[in-house]
Amino acid sequence: MEHPVFQKIEQSSKPDFGQILSRSFDLFKEVWVQGLLHALISIVIVIPFVILIYLPFIPILLHDINGGGFDSFEYSSAYEPFVGLSVLAIIGYVLLAILLMLVIQVVVFAVNAHFYKVMKKTDLGTEEETGGYFYFLKGNLMKIFLLNLASFGIAILATLLCYLPIFYVMVPLQLITAMFAFNPEMSVSEIIKACFKLGNKYWLIIFGLIIISSIIAQLGLILCLVGILVTAYFVHLPMYYLYKDTIGFDASPQQPIAG
């Protein structure tokens, strides 16, 4: 039996580009602190894994900091991280690095999905429990891993096809977090299929929202780079309203907060 989401996509009305952006700015005023907290948590998680990935290159960085030249014989012989390693060892490192990057994506994906629950609660003014920042990892670890693996594979395939297809797939891929956050019971294939179905139907509108929201999210760079932590999560707000205006939410027993 087909999931109700697919029927909702077929029956959905064309979303209004301007209204989505306008409401995104309004909601951002209420959730920017939560967005900042989610961004900081993501960074704290990412840093240890990045250090592990780049650990073999630390001697090169230290050598450069101490004034060593990248074109010197000393550098190439003593500071090359893969000198003396077998092909299997190098392949093993590459596979390990990819695995660590996928682990990063899984955890950050779960944190981002939680932010969608926060946006829904704030926007609708309900008492719905959002759980902790890692709420979605419980019972969904393998599903999130497969979603990220599928997204990675789709992006790589699109890139290999002379880059142009990446502009097409970036739209449905951007919808995956929202689709999962509000429909965690859906299978991996159903989520991806639904994202492509919704993305195909409103591709130009969603593409425009992605470009504009990404530019806005980068405005924090103006504030000595630190400000980007405040604006980074703005990219999720238009996707939240896009989902709300097309698929929507089922009636919830939760009552609106009084006042």
Higher pLDDT, 259 or 238: 238
What local confidence, expressed as pLDDT, does residue 116 receive? 97
- For 86: left if phi > 0, alpha if psi spans -120 to 50, otherwise beta; the answer is beta
pLDDT in tens, 128-155: 888 899 999 999 999 999 999 999 999 9
What local confidence, expressed as pLDDT, does residue 85 receive? 67
Confidence of residue 254 (pLDDT cuts 50, 70, 90): very low
Helix, strand, coil abundance in the chain, percent, nearest 5: 75, 0, 25
Instruction: Find the mean pLDDT for residues 47-75.
Output: 68
pLDDT in tens, 209-225: 999 999 998 887 776 66
What local confidence, expressed as pLDDT, does residue 10 receive? 96
Instruction: Find the mean pLDDT for residues 59-72.
Output: 59
How far is Cα of residue 248 from the mean position of the Cα atoms in its chain? 21
Question: For the chain, what are the domain ranges?
Answer: 4-44+116-246
Report the run of H or E that residue 104 belongs to, with start and end. Answer: helix 87-124
What local confidence, expressed as pLDDT, does residue 67 receive? 56
Calpha distance 88→38 (Å, rounded): 38
What local confidence, expressed as pLDDT, does residue 255 receive? 36
What local confidence, expressed as pLDDT, does residue 1 receive? 76
Q: Residue 185: exposed, middle, or buried by beta-carbon count in 10 A (0-12, 13-18, 19+)?
A: exposed
Q: Residue 106: exposed, middle, or buried by beta-carbon count in 10 A (0-12, 13-18, 19+)?
A: buried
What local confidence, expressed as pLDDT, does residue 84 receive? 62
pLDDT in tens, 181-190: 999 999 999 9
Instruction: Find the mean pLDDT for residues 201-205.
Output: 97
pLDDT in tens, 115-131: 999 999 999 998 888 88
Other CB atoms within a 10 A radius of the CB of residue 96 amount to 12
114, 38 contact by CB (below 8 A): yes
Calpha distance 152→229 (Å, rounded): 24
What local confidence, expressed as pLDDT, does residue 221 receive? 76
Q: Is the pLDDT of residue 257 over 70?
A: no
Q: Is the pLDDT of residue 62 over 90?
A: no
Instruction: Find the mean pLDDT for residues 160-184.
Output: 92
Point out which residues pair with 126 in neighbouring strands. Answer: 256
Confidence of residue 68 (pLDDT cuts 50, 70, 90): low
Instruction: Find the mean pLDDT for residues 198-213.
Output: 97
pTM confidence score: 0.85
Confidence of residue 256 (pLDDT cuts 50, 70, 90): very low
The number of residues making up the chain comes to 259
What local confidence, expressed as pLDDT, does residue 253 receive? 41
Calpha distance 189→16 (Å, rounded): 28
